[in-house]
């Protein structure tokens, strides 16, 4: 199968049902995308497929038909507006879930540049055990104003 990740095309041989998450992490070595639950509940594994936020732990890699972007490919220098705002407001704590949150946020802003709180809550159902929600909300409000 062919998989384009962060602009690079890969020719891979993997099982039909192998989730994109594990192809990214264990085959391609892109460990920024995280394993949290493996069943699409927590969102730590969120990446973009064709610009849309996808929970990669429940998406077979062989079913991916559009280019994939991971946290490593969001920008080369932390310059994506979401990354900049995340640093400006010091959002992460342990940081484990944040790749997924940032990717979900970036996808939302692409489709909905001025999201309401309700838009944000609907799109960012990610679990953050450290509880950075107050700052995620503030960061998204600031990005919606920008």
Partner 1 sequence: MPKLTRRSVVKLAAGSAAGLVLGFHLPPREARALETPNDFGSFLNAWLRIAPDDTVTVIVDRAEMGQGVYTALPMLLAEDLGCEWSRVRVVAAPADPVYRNVFLVKEMLSGGQPMGNTANWLVGKLARLFGQQVTGGSSSVRGAYKPLRIAGATARGMLIAAAARRWGVPESECRGEAGVVSHLGGERRLTYGALAAEAAGLRPPKRPNLKQPNEWRLIGQPLPRLDLPAKVDGSAGFGIDVRVQGMLFAAVAACPVFGGTLGRHDPARALAMPGVKAVLPLKDALAVLADNTWRAQQALAAVEIEWTDPPGPLVDSAAIEASLRAALDETGRIAEESGDVAKALAGSVRRLRADYEVPYLAHAAMEPINATARVMPDGVDLWIPTQAQEISAKAAAEAAGTSTDKVRVHTTYLGGGFGRRSEADIATQAVSIAKLAGAPVQVVWSRAEDMRHDFYRPAAACRLEAGLDADGRLLAWQQRLASPSILARIFPPATWIEPDGTAVEGAVKQPYAIANRRVSHTVRSFPVPVGFWRSVGHSYTAFFNECFIDEAAEAAGKDPLAFRLGLLGEAPRQRAVLELAAAKASWGTSLPPGRGRGIALHSSFGSHVALVAEVLVDATGLSVVRVVAAIDCGVIINPDTVAAQVEGSIVFGLTAALYGRISLEGGRVVEQGFDDYPMLKLSEMPVVELHMLESSELPGGVGEPVVPPVAPALCNAIFAATGKRIRRLPVTGQLTA
What residues make contact with partner 1 under the rule CB under 8 A? 15, 18-19, 21-22, 25-27, 29-39, 41-42, 44, 70-72, 74-75, 78, 83, 86-87, 90-99, 102, 120-122, 124-137
Nearer to partner 1, 32 or 67 (CB): 32
Residues in the chain: 146
The answer for residues whose C-beta is within 8 angstroms of residue 12's C-beta and 6 or more apart is 1, 2, 3, 23, 27, 61
Give the C-alpha separation, 115 to 91, whole Å: 18
Q: How far is the CB of 34 from partner 1 (least distance, A)?
A: 7
Q: How far is the CB of 54 from partner 1 (least distance, A)?
A: 16
Give the C-alpha separation, 88 to 144, whole Å: 15
Give the C-alpha separation, 41 to 35, whole Å: 11
Nearer to partner 1, 91 or 107 (CB): 91
Nearer to partner 1, 67 or 84 (CB): 84
Nearer to partner 1, 38 or 67 (CB): 38
């Amino acid at each position: 199968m062919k998989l384009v990740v962060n602009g690079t095309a890969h020719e891979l041989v993997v099982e039909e049902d192998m989730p994109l998450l594990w192809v990214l992490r264990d085959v391609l070595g892109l460990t920024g995308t995280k394993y949290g639950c493996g069943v699409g509940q927590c969102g730590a594994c969120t990446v973009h497929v064709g610009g849309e936020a996808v929970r990669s732990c429940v998406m077979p890699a062989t079913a991916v038909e559009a280019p994939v972007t991971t946290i490593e490919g969001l920008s080369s220098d932390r310059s994506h507006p979401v990354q900049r705002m995340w640093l400006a407001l010091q959002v992460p704590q342990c940081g484990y879930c944040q790749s997924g949150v940032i990717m979900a946020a970036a996808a939302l802003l692409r489709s909905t540049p001025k999201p309401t709180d309700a838009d944000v809550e609907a799109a960012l159902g990610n679990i953050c055990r450290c509880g950075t929600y107050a700052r995620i909300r503030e960061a998204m409000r600031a990005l919606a104003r920008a």
